[in-house]
Amino acid sequence: KNEVEQSPQNLTAQEGEFITINCSYSVGISALHWLQQHPGGGIVSLFMLSSGKKKHGRLIATINIQEKHSSLHITASHPRDSAVYICAVLSGTYKYIFGTGTRLKVLA
C-alpha cells in the first residue's frame, strides 16, 4: 500500500461542476503540498498546508491532521483546469512522498 493515496485516479467533469480530489496518507507529516501538472509537464505549486484550510481563487484545499486526509476542491471547473493534480507530503527529512496523481479532464 502506498504511503500517499489519491482518489479518484481519473476524473472527467463537465464545465462548471464542483470537483473534489482526495489525498490520504499513512505517515506523520510536517506539511502537505498540492501540485498541478499540465500536459506539457511543468509543475505548478498550488498550496502548501500544515493545518486548516487555504483558498486561492476557485481552488480550496483543506487538511485534517488527525484523520491524515486532505482534499482539493475546484469550484466552477473550467476546461483549463484539466491537468494532473498531485498530492505530496513532507515527512521527516526534506523529502516529498508523492501520490500517484489524479488525472482531471473538464469538458466544455
Partner 1 sequence: GAVVSQHPSWVICKSGTSVKIECRSLDFQATTMFWYRQFPKQSLMLMATSNEGSKATYEQGVEKDKFLINHASLTLSTLTVTSAHPEDSSFYICSADNRQGIYEQYFGPGTRLTVT
Residues binding partner 1 (CB under 8 A): 30-31, 33, 35, 41-45, 48, 86, 90, 94-96, 98-101, 103
Least CB distance to partner 1 at residue 101 (A): 6
Nearest to partner 1 of 20, 100 (CB atom): 100
Least CB distance to partner 1 at residue 38 (A): 10
CB 22 within 8 A of CB 7: yes
Least CB distance to partner 1 at residue 18 (A): 25
Nearest to partner 1 of 46, 74 (CB atom): 46
Least CB distance to partner 1 at residue 98 (A): 4
Nearest to partner 1 of 24, 99 (CB atom): 99
Q: How far apart are alpha carbons 25 and 69 in whole angstroms?
A: 6
The C-alpha angle 71, 76, 45, rounded to 5 degrees, equals: 50
Candidates 16, 8, 9; CA nearest to 80 is: 16
Nearest to partner 1 of 30, 75 (CB atom): 30
What 3-state class would DSSP assign to 29? coil
The residues near 25 (Cβ < 8 Å, ≥ 6 apart) are: 3, 4, 5, 32, 68, 69, 70, 87, 89, 97
